[in-house]
Amino acid sequence: MKIKVVGILLALIPLSINCSLAQVKKAQHRPVSGTSVLRGKIVYTSVCLPCHMADGGGVQNLNPPLVKTSYVLGDKTTLIKIVLNGFNEDVEINGNTYSNAMTPHDDLKDQQIADVLTYVRSSFGNKASAVKATEVAKVRATNKKA
């Protein structure tokens, strides 16, 4: 009896993996839209929120805010690299320095990075253009060689 149940469960695993792969494929072909922002919020909540906070306000002297900073609104390549490589350069952001280090997030998929940056660039009072998965892929490709 038990063995049968386990057998059925094991048979279901490849099915569910196939399903989620199909979903990712579909998502990559969708044009950038509100769905990207919605997906990005989920990535933000699980990955970035512990440091940058739900409102993007950061933590004083530790983690910088993501509200209208030159990094968030500026060059997308630099922004994508911050997520891929992490960031620890003791830079001044809006007149403050932040002593914490940002960990690299190159384990995230191109689409996830595109989504989270699209979410950040259109939230917290920011109004900047979306980031596409193809843009992340390009930066990742040259990033590896460096």
What is the binding site for ligand HEC (CB under 6 A)? Answer: 47-48, 50-52, 63-66, 69, 71-72, 79, 82-83, 87-91, 93, 98, 100-103, 105, 116, 120
Residue 145: what residue type?
Answer: K
CB neighbourhood size of 108 (10 A):
17
Nearest residue (CB) to ligand HEC, 36 versus 98: 98
Nearest distance, CB of residue 7 and ligand HEC, angstroms: 40
- Spatial separation of the C-alpha atoms in residues 92 and 70, rounded to whole Å: 11
Helices (H), the chain: 2-29, 34-43, 49-52, 70-73, 76-85, 110-121, 133-145
Nearest residue (CB) to ligand HEC, 9 versus 112: 112
Nearest residue (CB) to ligand HEC, 12 versus 38: 38
3-state SS, residue 93? strand
Nearest distance, CB of residue 43 and ligand HEC, angstroms: 7
Nearest residue (CB) to ligand HEC, 75 versus 134: 75
Q: 116: Cβ–Cβ under 8 A, 6 or more apart, which residues?
A: 40, 43, 44, 47, 48, 83, 108
Nearest residue (CB) to ligand HEC, 1 versus 140: 140
Nearest distance, CB of residue 9 and ligand HEC, angstroms: 33
Nearest distance, CB of residue 2 and ligand HEC, angstroms: 42
- Spatial separation of the C-alpha atoms in residues 104 and 124, rounded to whole Å: 23
Nearest distance, CB of residue 41 and ligand HEC, angstroms: 11
3-state SS, residue 30? coil
